[in-house]
Amino acid sequence: MNDIVYGRNAVLELLDSSPDKVEKIYFQFNTSHNKLKEIMITARRLKIPVGKARLEKLGEIAGTTKHQGVCALVSSITYYTLDEVLAAPRNSSPFLVLLPGLQDPHNVGAIIRSAEAAAADAVVLLDGKGAPVNAVVHKASAGALSHMRVVKVKSLRKTLQELREKGFAIVAADMDAEINYTDVDYRRPTVFLMGEEGRGLLEGALAPEDTLVRIPMAGCVESLNVSVTAGVLCFELMRQRLS
């Protein structure tokens, strides 16, 4: 799902011409080269995820030793805008799954798989945050990524407010919530907002009119993996809409 661009000049040109296509940039450890510093500064300004790798690992990623200490993962999938999705909804009452910063590509792929199986209109990602949409995501989605529309947005808070104004209910899971997840009406336009692994929901993301729900637990564990939580919510929504 990713093409690779390597070399200092090539990556700089890519950042200048098509920054929205760049999923992540990898740099060699302990570099002091001025052009590599320029690439790193530019990537951070554009909020593109960056990572460090040893020369051997960079060679594996780039497929060559002539990478000059930098390579970029370029997405080969087509991203949609939120307006494009809402202008051509899959459902008469649209529903979206919003992932503002998941780090594990296996979780991202598993959620895309559940969202596609439940006929979600789109999975929404926060640009510059979380795992890149790469081959691991595609494999974990079991092919669902090829059928699911993926949206990238710049601002979580602005996107949530825009969706509220369009009549969407924002629903998020929390183990301390008072409302059972089955006691919410998901037949209206709905957004499932998923928290980050280990951190939960971003502070200040939710508004007073949004809904927190809990998934009852009978065993010894206190919470579910985020991808399992997303699957439970998606299929409760589908159950209600099909009943």
Residue 198: predicted pLDDT: 67
104 is written with which tokens?
């594990």
User: How far is residue 210's CA from residue 212's CA, in Å, rounded to a whole number?
Assistant: 7
Tell me: the pLDDT tens digits for 171-207? 999 988 999 999 999 999 999 999 887 676 777 789 9
- Chain centroid to CA 86: how far? 18
CATH number listed for the domain at residues 2-75? 3.30.1330.30
Give Cβ neighbours of residue 215 (< 8 Å, ≥ 6 apart). Answer: 173, 175, 181, 224, 229, 232
- What pLDDT, on the 0 to 100 scale, is given for residue 98? 97
Q: What is the pLDDT of residues 71-97, one digit of tens each?
A: 998 877 889 999 999 999 999 999 999
- pLDDT of 35 higher than 70: yes
Rg of the Cα trace of the chain? 19
Tell me yes or no: is domain 79-242 CATH 3.40.1280.10: yes
State percent of the chain over pLDDT 90: 67
Report domain extents, the chain: 2-75, 79-242
Could you report the per-residue pLDDT of 116-158, keeping only the tens digit for each? 999 999 999 998 788 878 778 888 999 899 899 999 999 999 9
Q: Tell me: pLDDT of 27 over 90.
A: yes
pLDDT of residue 108: 95
State the pLDDT confidence band at 114, using cuts at 50, 70 and 90. very high
What average pLDDT does the structure give for the chain?
Answer: 91
